[in-house]
Every structure is written in structure tokens, then in C-alpha cells.
Amino acid sequence: MFSPVILAGGSGSRLWPLSRPQYPKQFLALDRQGRGTMFQRALGRLDGLEHTPPLVVANEQHRFIAAEQMREIGQLDARIILEPVGRNTAPAIVLAALEACSEGDDPVLLVLAADHYIHDEPAFRKVVESGEALARAGRLVTFGITPTHPETGFGYIECGPALAEDAYAIAGFKEKPTADAAEAYLASGRYLWNSGMFMFQASVLLREMGIHRPDILTSVRAAFEASSRDRYFVHVAAEPFARCDGESIDYAVMERTDNAAVIPLDAGWNDLGSWTSLWDIADRDEAGNALDGDVMAIDTRGSLVQSHHRLVTTVGVSDLLIVETKDAVLVADKSAGQQVKAIVGRLQSEGRQEAIGHPKVSRPWGHYETMGHGDRYQVKRITVLPGESLSLQLHYHRAEHWIVVSGTARVVCGDKETILAENQSTYIPLGVKHSLSNPGKVPLELVEVQSGAYLGEDDIVRFEDRYGRLK
């Protein structure tokens, strides 16, 4: 039995405008075919294997998204380790190894990214079983993807001498190659794509980190030992973790150790790093189009078109990437899929909100969506899940009107408590303590109209919060 580690950090900027830092690609259902988000599918891929409850490493700002998505698929016993800042895969994996050993155990860890696509899941499970045997023998195992074409966007692993059936020592790691080098790698039959999936015993990984990158191990251990815990999360101490170098596990250990092994994996793997890669795996029509949502395509070929809020039409085009969201539309040549990141960089430099988040914002109690705003007013639609509640809070710069659309609301305003039903409303004056909860069994939907001199989300003073957001 092994312990899965799901790395759920990252921002997925090349999948903008759908993936954004406040809600990145691993928490999205990119193909919208009812099979769950990328994160949920990474967890579901473990079905049929004997393992302990998963360890999830996520960013602090995504903690409630991760917890809710795990609840949706019944993963209620997993532990979620929260990084205060992203520091690449080596520190994240060390955190997981320290947590796995914190109660005296020393399990084999299977490290998976939350945003990978694997078509042949039985083949994946078979190589995991082979990897576990090698890891128990003291090897640091990675899974190399059998290449299907001369790809220049991936790193490569060169296979050395055979260690067991379909397992090899690693002769070397290669950076993303030129087209000619990629052709040579493919022709040789000795090279695999570097997948970023690993398997090793926790103590072996920690020992190798101590040999090759003791500075990272020391910083992460200090942050872990100063962490705090609550019912749902392990909150890693921010200051010592921020001092840690950002380094991948490949550079920190796998390229330095003499104890690494690689197992080939041929399972229809894709890291879904761009819209072009999503087109590669999508179901396509006879004209080669991957169409999703309310799309009308006429004389259109070889394109990916996604509509999320309104009708999108195309006429007489080919090889395009078109993605429509409520507040932004991407149109790009399919060959330029890797360059979407440049748009995000420009949006960030100009301070645009579209670089950060969507109009719909997730919260631990549900979500809200901005419907309109102007000088001294803002309108939101708020959804509160059954049994959940917003914090007891006040605002210094705005008043609020709440109108219940459906469901039941329990409202505390000052020293008065009121139950509101559909079509009823209430007024929250500026500077008055108030809270909102849903005592019913169906989602509470209401419209909030804010008015005042300042309407930013940071105009909130919390006094009580069941989700620990008083800081």
C-alpha cells in the first residue's frame, strides 16, 4: 500500500482566459463532459489501487476549492497541505514526505500532478504497481512517457541499463530539445518524455534531499515544524517557507542521484499545458473541430471553439483557438497556443482584473458573481450552500440591500435576527455587524446591491468566521 501525493499548485496561464490564478486549470473541467475537474480525475485515477488517504499539496488561496472538490467525490479523509507561496515541486514534495512520516510511518509516495490527462487508466495503474516494487527496493522512480512524435515542448529522459522488466536506470535528463534533436531522440528508441510523476519511499526522498539540497530540506522542515493545523488543513508557516529556494524535484534530486529509475508509460498521457494540447485530446468532428458549448461553425476546420456564456459563430476559418468567457475572449492561431502566456503577462502589467480572476468567485460557503457595477454601486448574485454561513462582519464604506431570489436566509443585523423567504428583502446599514446563513436544504440565491464610496472586497472586518478567515 502506498500514499498518493497530488500536487495541485500552479496557475496554468497558457489556458487563459479559462484558467486564472484565483481558479487555475487543475480545478477546472476543461472538456466539460461530466467527468469531473482535472484534480478530481487525478484522484479518481487511483481507484482500484490499494493506497492510504491522499495527501494534497495546494496553495493557501485555493484551500476551499480543493476541499469542496474533494467533498464532491467523497474524499473526506484526505489531508490538505497548504503552501503559503509556490516554490516549485521539490519543496512541495518534501512537505508531503514530512507529513507522511509525521506519525512514525515511512510510506512509499506516488507523486502525481493534478492537471495531467491519461487516457488509458488501467495501463497507468499497472505501471504504478511496478513502480511500487522498485520504490520499496530503495529506488527513486519516475515514469517516462513513450513518445509518439518528436516533441520540442517536453524534457526527455535517456534510458540506461535495464534494472527489471520494463524498468531502466537513468542515463541522463535532457532539456526541451531542438526539432532535429527531438527527431534523433525518437529515432534512437532510448528516450522517453519526462512526465513529472514519481514514486519513492518518503525516507529515501528526504535522505537524498539532505545529500543534494540540504538547504531546501532545512527550510522546508522549519516551515513544516512551525505549521498549524485545523479540522481541514495543514497551514505551513509562511516566513521560513518563503525563504526556501524554488526548485523542481528533477533538478534538486533526480538529475543528481545515482539511484534513479524510469519505467516507460504508454497510456495516452498529456500535460494539457495549452489550448493546442486540449485540441489534441478532444473529440473532434469530421472537419477536425473541437466544439464545446453554444457554437455554430460553418466552413470551419481544425479549430477549437469553446463557448461558456453566449453563442459563438465562425465562418470560413481554420486552425484557430477561440475561447469565450463572460469577461474575455481569446482568438489565436493554433500554432501560437504556447504564446497565450504573453497575453497574461500584458494584462498583469496593466493591472487588469482579467489576469487574476473571473466574475464568479468561489468562497467556502458557496460563490458570488458580479452582475454589474458603476460609480458608487455594485450588484452581485450570491449563492450560499445549505448549512453554510458568511462571517459575522461589517463594512465601513458601503451599505447593502439583500433580495432573496430562492431558498431561505437567516439574517443577523445588529441585535436583530430575521428569516427571509423568496421575494423578501432586507437592508444592511453601513458600519453595522451582520451575517447571512442558509438554514435550508436547498441553495440560497440572493441579489446584493452595494452602495457607497468604496466597494472593494477588502472593506470587510470579520468578527466570527467558521472557516478561520479572521486574519
Q: What local confidence, expressed as pLDDT, does residue 103 receive?
A: 86
Ranges in the chain annotated CATH 2.60.120.10: 360-464
Cell numbers found for residue 69: 472538490
pLDDT digits (tens, 9 = 90+) for 394-404: 999 999 999 99
Q: What local confidence, expressed as pLDDT, does residue 335 receive?
A: 93
Residue 230 confidence class, pLDDT cut points 50, 70, 90: confident
Cell numbers found for residue 79: 489531508
Ranges in the chain annotated CATH 3.90.550.10: 3-270
Cell numbers found for residue 210: 539532505
Cell numbers found for residue 192: 522517453
Query: Which of 366, 381, 354, 382 is closest to 22 using CA atoms?
Result: 354
By three-state DSSP, how is residue 150 classified? coil
Domain 360-464 in CATH: superfamily?
Jelly Rolls (2.60.120.10)
Mean pLDDT computed over every residue of the chain: 94
- Strand bridging mode 312-318 / 295-301: parallel
Query: Which of 432, 386, 379, 428 is closest to 409 using CA atoms?
Result: 386
Per the CB < 8 A criterion, the answer to whether 324 and 331 are in contact is no
How far is residue 383's CA from residue 363's CA, in Å, rounded to a whole number?
10
pLDDT digits (tens, 9 = 90+) for 295-336: 999 999 999 999 999 999 999 999 999 999 999 999 999 999
Question: For residue 135, is pLDDT > 60?
Answer: yes
Question: For residue 32, is pLDDT > 90?
Answer: no
Residue 33 confidence class, pLDDT cut points 50, 70, 90: low
Kindly state the average pLDDT of the residues 438-467: 93
Question: For residue 76, is pLDDT > 60?
Answer: yes
Question: For residue 122, is pLDDT > 60?
Answer: yes
Q: What local confidence, expressed as pLDDT, does residue 34 receive?
A: 61
In CATH, the number for domain 3-270 is: 3.90.550.10
Question: For residue 470, is pLDDT > 70?
Answer: no
